Structure 1
Amino acid sequence: MIGKILGNRYEITEKIAQGGMSVVYKALDLNLNRYDAVKVLKPEFSSNKDILDKFKQEANAVAFLSHPNIVNIYNVGSEDQIHYIVMEYVKGKTLKEVIKAQGKLSVEETLNYSYQIARALESAHNSNIIHRDIKPQNIMLTKDGLIKVTDFGIAKHSDSVTITNSGKIIGSAHYFSPEQARGNMTDGRSDIYSLGIVMYEMVTGRVPFDAESPITIALKHMQEPLPSPRALNPSVSAGLEKVILKATEKNPIDRYQRIEDMMMDLRALMNGERLETNENVNTDHTQVMNAVVPERKTMRNDIYDDEKPSNNKKKTLIIGLAMILVVVLGALIGDAVFSRGNGNQPGEVLEEEVDIPEIMGLTKEEAEDALEMVGLVLEVTGTETSEQPENTVIKVIPEEGTSVKKGVTVSVVLSAGEEKLYVPDITGSTVESAEIILGNNGFILGTTTEEFSETVPAGEIIGQDPLVNTSMPKGSAVNVVVSKGPEIVLSVVPDMKGRTQREAQALLEAVGLTIGEVKTVPTGDEAQSGRIVEQSLPAATEVKEGTKVNITLYEYTEVNIPSNLIGKTAGEAVTALKALGLNPVLVDGTVNSDLVVELSPGRGPVAYGSTVEVLGEPEPVEEEPAETPAG
């Protein structure tokens, strides 16, 4: 594939990844002159209609999604039985590679990455797209700490028909949910389960369930309790473990019902708040396998069990409901009779009722005093972040104005103030990357100013305000200073012709320039020796400070006139003298064909460029001998 051009546009340059059903290449977009990633379906699957449909479905599923934590899809095509998807090229590592390299990720990294993955799922779920194959291999991490979720190859619309009609399930055994293992209907809670498994792997460095076959792993997901992540990594907080365990409940109804609910707990942990209370077979590739059907006793309480109850179970259920109904009716009748038999006698004093006063917005102490004045008791049941000042009442149960008996306890929720977040480090990032990082952490980009920097490349952030790890309310702006690169100061090149090298150096240094290469040319004028005859940059040219200017100096030179020119032709003598830098002149009617009889001066040395007179005579003609008269 290397060197092949797909669609007359995408030139394959190198292989960068391989999955169970496809290979990913880096390719140059010849139209836009940028690098993209091209996912190519493996040849052995190109004739499998189901898999081919799933492959093309990836582009359809995510093409209209636009989110900083989701890899963008640019194009899709087929040619010569090659089926491919063109997507955003993300320079970085997969989360799986990061986990393998580090072993265990810190709690801070786990929370940060998990929240970004959750944001991607939130965007997909809000568009009715379920990923169904969330695993570290499908999560890219850039050098800026930005998460990019990829591979929506088996995604589906949440309202589309389930794939159980085929009796097959698709996914990665280490990460798929119990309902996926059974081949039952899946919804967003299946992605939440997979994210919980990924979080478990991040904090422990291993998957919770492993075995030699995907079927065995699937059964463990369905039947075995999740091992405690804190037992493997004591640094995991109780709150983080609670999030992981809740996300990975066997029964979907016991999990987080929406990804937003999970994000709320993740954000609370990120803010420092406390919450109540061996791979022998490569099973991490997306696979197609038969649905796992365990013993019936493990299915009995599964809300996704689509088998109909037996007639005996129906009869038992009906009898039980009837008995409950009889007990409830008897209790209601007894209560009515008792009330009439113990009615208030004339003149009996009724227990006094009061209205709950308006205490919303009051401080805890003010609300306590207001309730005490009417004979009620205040109880604080918790705090919540809000825009209201800290320690003020933001919820009242029962509501204000409700009539209650004196002495009743009124529950209130107090404001914990605005949500406090910690400012991330965005130095070294571009403005575009910084805006995404800030958004992922609950902040917005503030003002952008520019400064020159000798060390930081242009376009990268060299400073931020507030500083890293400053606690700020959610939605606060972070101002940045962006490097303009080294400051460019222009200097005017001086006129150095006729100056000595020392003088030229002083002139250049005065304007922040320096002498570069120095060359010499010969001269016969001793007065010009050592003076500049030429400079590489013309005078008055504006150049960057520090630029080097090359110069050429005259050097006084003497030449020895060759003694072997006598007897040669005048033309040959002229050529030889010119080659030595002298100025030959033919005198007294000498022509090039004459033989040289005299040079003036006739011997050296003479100054370079000196005039040399050349005197020549015609070559003598030999006389033919006279004829002898015949005798």
Structure 2
Amino acid sequence: MSVSISAPSLVGRTIDERYVVREHLADGGMGSVYVALDERLDREVALKIMRPDLARDADFVARFRREARSAARLTHPNVVAVTDQGSDEDYVFLAMELVRGQTLRQLIRRDAPLPVRQALEMMEGILRALDAAHQAGLVHRDVKPENVLIGAHGVKVADFGLARAVTTDTLTGDSDVLLGTAAYLSPEQVENGRADERSDVYSAGLLLFEMLTGEKAFPGDSPINVAYQHVHGTMPRPSEAVPTVPSAVDELVLRATAKNPDERPANAGAMLHELHLTRDRLGSGALDAPPRTQPADRGSCGVPDGCSGDPAKYSGERSGGETSWGGEHDTGPMAADSTQHFDRGGPPSAGRTGRRRWPWIAGILVVVLLIAGGLGAWAFTAGPLGKVTVPTVAGERQGRAVDAIQGAGLHARIQQVFSEKVARGVVVSASPHAGNDARKNSTVTLTVSKGPERYTVPSVVGRSEAAARNAIEKAHLRVGKVSHAYDEKVAEGKVARVDPSGGSAQKPKTTVDLVVSKGKRPIDIADVTGQPSADAKQTLTDAGFTVTFGPEQHSDTVAKGDVISQDPPNGTGHKGDAIQLVVSKGPVLVTVPKVIGMSSGAAKEKLEGLGFQVKTSYPLLVPVLFQVQGQSVKADTQAPKGSTITIDVV
């Protein structure tokens, strides 16, 4: 029984000081989904909150966060966007784009079987989403109608949070939990827990079957029996249930759901290409014909009749025993511990018959062997096991090459490589090679050029040397010579220039030279005090400084117009630094009073009181009256304070 957060428990609560929970949407194996208001961006989101018991599992939380980061890498119109991930007290959450509408499950229950055109249009959106994931190195692993949303803007695939990078190549995960829903698991997922892009193709083929017919390809009473059918059952044609389905669409479904992954389209992009070819071959009559159903008894491999082996052996229990797999509507993970490897033995022997019946049995066996021999001869010549010659496709564009391979009765699988000589999108080689024989319906791997391997030099100007090194190495390039130079714009210790320049495309492991700034070049500040202000300004401006002038001041020692002081006074500066100069107004001027007729003592006292120096002259050699008869500076004129005035005393 799955554990989930009860719907009322979080409605009205604010998560992570950002998401106000408004409405409960659904519960699943991993947790519950709510409608929440993102107060930071003022928009509604879908908030997926993990079950409390899982939130306390450090390993599961770590895996959940990795999956969230993987999902956030996907940006595509057909993918439900992951916008945030975090935790709040006991809750771990994932914020996703909110899609108002219905699930594909709801559409199938209400309207299926769908017209061929509508089913192919739905499948096109699903494959575009999966193709975006496959190109990003991700496998969904849980493609099912519940994870396909149909909103105002078309089809969107959700729950890429359960996907893992293709390079991880296993389905069991860190906690040995088998993910997925039994009705849509590929045979390889059932048998060994492994999945790749072709596993998503298989699940997509089952979705297409269900849209066309309104029923599952492998119905069953329990997930064990359904999984058993995926491995041993015969995939039905959609036209068996809906005769109006064209044979070309039958073939598309059968190729996508082949038991052998090598016989399926290599990825969602390849299946999308086949879907387009199939649709282009059909007329509007076949595409838009109302579905016409008929009773169909395809049998079931839920019991051993018609299939080899015993489905109960999947769980190591009797077929009537309970299992820990989720039911049809359980969207949570299924425990891998409840499954074991298949026992490939056939059904129990029927036992020995009476001796009197053996001649009849022998006769029947002879007839069966003759028929089998004839069928075998046909199968290995004109039949499905016959051989065909692999056509020459090297040098062709990918689309034309795929058409040629399929036209020869083969399937194409695409792998991509960089090439310095072959243009992007052109086939480099094929395996098996052209001219070799291959079984009909087998797969030819086409190696398609991605063009020259080039990487963009990152923009690292203004970043630290360590950050620049990290960015360059992540771009598959190497750091070459590192030099240091003065730079007037870039701060000391930051990258000033790169060679080759940022944004240019380079071969892998190309060396990128760095020039790290030493800051602005230092400039000596000349001492211009005592110089005429114009000369001082020119000297400093020529050196690269900006000159400003402070208020002029009187000076008894510096002539008018000359520089009294500068700030900073000396030392070093940098280009563009401001230096302030103070220019002299000359000494203070004082009006000279009239002292003629005054006594020599009074005249001297008055002049000295005004700041003048006084010199006494005696024209008669010996003064008689001690009275001033003349002065060297006329009265009522101005003279510099501190200058000398001579008085004549008689």
Q: Same fold (TM over 0.5)?
A: no
TM-score under structure 2 length normalisation: 0.43
TM-score under structure 1 length normalisation: 0.45
